[in-house]
Amino acid sequence: MTDSPSLFSRQRVLEDLRVLGFRFQEKRGQNFLFDSNLLEALVRDSGIQAGDRILEVGPGAGTLTRVLLDLGCQVTSIEIDPLLCQYLRDRFDRPEFQLIEGDVLATKNRLSERLLADLDRRLAEGQPRGFHLVANLPYSIASPLVAMLVAQREDLESIGVLVQREMARRWVAPPGGREYGTTSVLLALTGHGKISRAVPASVFVPAPRVESSFFTWTRDGDLDPLPGGLVKLVRHCFQFRRKTLGKILREQLPAEDFWWQQQGVGTSIRPDQMTPKQWASLAQRFDSEAVSWLSHDE
């Protein structure tokens, strides 16, 4: 069954939400898209196809959800706002749509175990296969969410998300610049990402204070799995990005350690000068126990 597009017109959706008592909350990144042509273009950019299993975080009023469902995708949406959850349940009474109510993050650097268990249960239905993250992501959770999903979920096959323009630039940034960081390293080590298009603030309701970009990424199945402890190690070192790596790790990796010579770098190299492959090599130099000196939620 395909819903009438008029049900998702700006006027109809905003009126239906007003009746429910909904009010936009900036802290939750509630900026909705109503342009059907743009929504369909974003879905095309993501490269997904009918039958794909989609994880959508922050569906809002369901305008993107509708396009995904009309394409023939199996959609699991996670929404934190109770009123929006009520609206989505009323709007999408379809077996191919599942809604999980709650916060996808337990802490800023930890996914919700309850929601992950629920997601796993839903993904296990049918033939075992991977899933795709496609969403108009709330900007405040975009970076930690993407980093954790890429690092922890090898069944995440691709990403197609609307995010703040500056954030998308960080995700595709090469070593040596201020935009290069932890998520840049993780995405480069696991697949191939790019910015497919710019999306102006004026197309959102309400308009955010920043410009946006649509970022896409595809996992490369031929790449080696991420070394244990890599995420915590990279995140820790980037907290001191202006210091040299030799100073940051002086107790764990002394200047005479063979790793420096093996990689052909000196102790004066900074975290933002390390290539993704060098980070992977450094994480392999430390085993999982060797990074136990890093706190879990750094």
Largest Cα separation within the chain, whole Å, is: 68
Which pTM was predicted?
A: 0.91
Q: What is the pLDDT of residue 298?
A: 43
Q: Residues 155, 180: contact at Cβ < 8 Å?
A: no
CA angle 47–195–35, rounded 5-degree value: 65
The Cβ of residue 212 has, within 10 Å, a number of other Cβ atoms equal to 26
pLDDT tops 80 at residue 165? yes
pLDDT tops 90 at residue 287? no
Distance (Å, whole) CA 52 – CA 71? 9
Write down the number of H helices and E strands in the chain: 12, 11
Q: Band of the pLDDT at 56, cuts 50, 70, 90?
A: very high
Strands (E), 74-128: 74-79, 97-101, 105-107, 110-111
Q: What is the pLDDT of residues 269-279, one digit of tens each?
A: 999 999 999 99
Q: Band of the pLDDT at 1, cuts 50, 70, 90?
A: very low
Considering the segment(s) 230-291 as one domain, its CATH architecture is Orthogonal Bundle (1.10)
C-alpha radius of gyration, the chain, whole number = 21
Distance (Å, whole) CA 245 – CA 237? 7
pLDDT tops 90 at residue 26? no
* Cβ density class 37-61: b for 16+ within 10 Å, e for less: ebbebbbebbebeeebbbbbbbbbb
Q: What is the pLDDT of residue 297?
A: 44
Q: Band of the pLDDT at 296, cuts 50, 70, 90?
A: very low
Q: Where are the domains of the chain?
A: 5-219, 230-291
Phi first, then psi, for residue 7 (nearest 5°) are -65, -20
| CA-based torsion, 104, 141, 236, 222: positive or negative | positive
CA angle 185–191–195, rounded 5-degree value: 80
| CA-based torsion, 76, 79, 84, 85: positive or negative | positive
Percentage of the chain exceeding pLDDT 90:
74
Q: What is the pLDDT of residues 242-261, one digit of tens each?
A: 999 999 999 889 999 999 99
Q: What is the mean pLDDT of the segment spanning 152-181? A: 95
Q: What is the mean pLDDT of the segment spanning 68-96? A: 95
**Two tokens, residue 243:** 């210091």
Of 4-8, 27-31, 132-136, 217-221, the least confident: 4-8
* Chain CA centroid to CA 248, Å: 28
The yes or no reply on domain 5-219 and CATH 3.40.50.150 is yes
pLDDT tops 90 at residue 228? no
Q: What is the pLDDT of residue 159?
A: 98
